[in-house]
Chain A
Amino acid sequence: MSTVVLLLFTGVGLGAIYFLVASGLSLIYGLMHVLNFAHGVFLSLGAFLGFEVASRLGATTWTGFAASLLVGALAGALFAALTERLLVQRLYERHIEQVLVTVGLGLAAVALFDGIWGTDPRFITGPAWMGRTTSVLGANVPNDRFVAILVAGLVLLGMVLFLRRTRYGMIIRAGVENRAMVTALGIDVRTAFTLVFTIGGIAAGLGGVLASHYFGYVSPLLGQTLLIFAFIVTVIGGLGSLTGAAIASVVVALLQQFANYYLWGTGDLAVVVLLAVVLLTRPSGLMGRRA
């Protein structure tokens, strides 16, 4: 029982991190039809800068941790906004070339991080409480899982409120449905493009800081590794669907954790099998609009 509980929390915690990456990917794809290969870079950059700030302010203090989250989010947002404005927008409506540009950016940025921070993982310490465990139904759950779940929950809530309550949120929702009609109502949809990149960057930057605590290290490849799972989550959830991304994040992470524990470490394979099954039965994903 305690094992199941532990796997549940660990799985949902990992799902929280997947969601922070996949939500932005899904929104960007939904609105712009761009598969953003640079998304992992937003995450790694957030993690590295968060790590730098935390180690200067005191990695074991809550101030340091809070500052690392803030810096991670800001770094992700800024880098994402610049990516959209300087690279992606220049190739307006040329989706394949937009993907290629993000691929190139991803390669160059990972190499640059290698040069700056080295290829070896940097190990992360956080506030002492985060390294400890809390007993839930007999399972000793590491506390950083709770933090990841809490932050991802807040991000989900924030995104939903933004999408439901603001004019730009409305434009994004409408644009995911029918971008041409949004422009035909006199709205410059490119502002919304920059905005979804920025929002995706914030989530990925936060995800980077949390992932570095969850895994205990940060390395230049951290983002790109998580990105692949985030892609899978996005396809399973249904491209463009935020709810789908949230559900699929948790499903994929739980499947991965349980398969790793009960099925001899086959978590990654189980996820790919799930992807194949979903594609064969529902090619548009769980919450995709085209069945």
Chain B
Amino acid sequence: MSPSTPASGTAYRGGARAWVGRLVPPALVLLLACLPLLDLRLPGVLPGPTYTPGTLHLLALAMVMAALALSYHLLLGVAGLLSFGHALYFGLGAYLLGIVMSELELGLVPSVLVVLVAGVVISLLLGAVSLRVTGIPFAMVTLAFAQAGSVLVRRDPGRVTGGEEGLRLPTEQVPDALVGVADTRNLYWLALAALVLAFLLVSWVQGSRAGHVAAAVRENELRVRVLGMRPFLVKLAIFVAASVIAVGMGMVHLLLNSGAVPHIVSAELTISLLLMVVIGGVGSRWGAVAGAVLYVLLNQRLTVLAQAAWVHDLPAPLRIPLSEPMFVLGTLFVLVVLFLPGGLAGTVARVRRWRGRGGPPAGADRLEDVDDEQQAATTGGARR
């Protein structure tokens, strides 16, 4: 029932075309890698030519968010876990890297290793507690833990996070190549490498035994139990994998933005991840990437639009909605959920199927009810 990924949507195509299809991702990566050296302009989409620092920074941000959305896809799309606390691990990566570098005065590479180990330990602990419940209660618990993290960062009891002001990147520990506006290109390439790495990692986890079992658990937990497997451990493994990828992206984000602000630990950030993944299409890796890129670019465009002079001259009923990017994005999201089940990926797959069969698609895609089990247990209505 889950929206088919582009990969499965191409299954009917001929071998030659599938072979070409396999070449598209490397070609795309190559093109992206060359962007800083090119003078491409996409007026209305990008703020300037592709070699300018502003545009590169925006694209790098989009790629970091895409990688983060991919890790969220592991939770929601693969394991069927609706988490509202994923930002905790993103924020953890960013803040902890900064803190380890400035407080322990370690270099970048050892600090990264320390933070990764800390990420594994913390996500194991919190995941083990959160996964005692499933479905909606799981969502609430993860939200609460992330909220605690957010409060810690804002209150700053140990005088290390910078409170509301945020944390500045301790530049003395970072190689010069990764510091400053002039070197945006390097940061851009770093973000691209991080995205590719995240994509490969997510694909690997998804294709591993744990990924298959997790998908089976999402479909039918009872049957997996009957087969003698432990859904808890599998879910925990996926949870830790997703969290550690998020920790890694948080570290890239710290370097990219030369600092961290409390927003990156907030529930709003997790919710924007949810928006990206759902708009892109739950269950699809390409969907998560596309959703994230769309979200970041749209958010940037809408922010520019909100400050445009002609918008300010509009009457209030038009001006107020247009000058609030989140209003437009939130509304867009509601419309996607109501009218485009399966998001972008699901729609693409449907259109392909429709063309392939020469007939309208049968049945709408819909999300898995991750709380089916919960519901069955409480209503008794879904039994058998």
Q: Which of A's residues lie within 8 Å of B, judged by CB?
A: 29, 33, 35, 87, 90-91, 94-97, 99-101, 103-112, 114-116, 178-181, 228, 231-232, 234-235, 239-240, 264-265, 268-269, 271-272, 275-276, 279-280, 283, 289-290
Contact = CB atoms under 8 A, between A and B. Distances in A.
Given A94-B366, A180-B381, A235-B140, A268 B329 contact: no
B326 A96 contact: no
28 contacts: A33-B136, A91-B337, A94-B366, A95-B136, A96-B82, A96-B367, A96-B368, A97-B337, A97-B341, A103-B275, A105-B330, A105-B334, A111-B327, A115-B323, A179-B381, A181-B380, A228-B147, A231-B144, A235-B137, A239-B136, A269-B151, A272-B145, A272-B147, A275-B144, A276-B141, A276-B145, A279-B132, A289-B378
Question: Which of B337, B366, B367, B380 neighbours the largest number of chain A CB atoms within 10 Å of its CB?
Answer: B337
Interface string B27-59: 000000000000000000000000000000000
Given A35-B136, A181-B380, A115 B334 contact: no
Interface of B: 82, 129-130, 132-133, 135-137, 139-141, 143-145, 147-148, 151-152, 155, 157, 267, 271, 274-275, 278, 319-321, 323-327, 329-331, 333-334, 337-338, 341, 366-371, 374-375, 377-382
Contact of A29 (B136, B329, B369): B136
Contacts of B333: 100, 103-104, 107
A116 B132 CA distance: 42
A115 to B, nearest CB: 4
Given A178-B381, A180-B381, A235-B137, A108 B337 contact: no
Main secondary structure of the interface of A (DSSP, over half): helix
Contacts, number: 149
Given A33-B136, A111-B327, A114-B324, A181 B381 contact: yes
Nearest to A272: B148
B155 to A, nearest CB: 7
Closest 7 CB pairs of A and B: A180-B381, A108-B330, A107-B330, A115-B320, A111-B326, A111-B327, A104-B334
A228 B374 CA distance: 21
A228 B140 CA distance: 8
A259 B320 CA distance: 41
Nearest to A183: B381
Contact of B151 (A94, A111, A240, A268): A268
A79 B88 CA distance: 32
Contact of A290 (B136, B371, B377): B377
Contacts of B151: 268-269
Question: Which of B275, B278, B334 neighbours the largest number of chain A CB atoms within 10 Å of its CB?
Answer: B334
B367 A90 contact: no
Given A228-B144, A279-B133, 15 more contacts: A91-B337, A95-B371, A97-B367, A101-B337, A103-B333, A111-B324, A112-B327, A115-B319, A115-B320, A180-B381, A235-B137, A235-B140, A235-B141, A275-B141, A290-B378
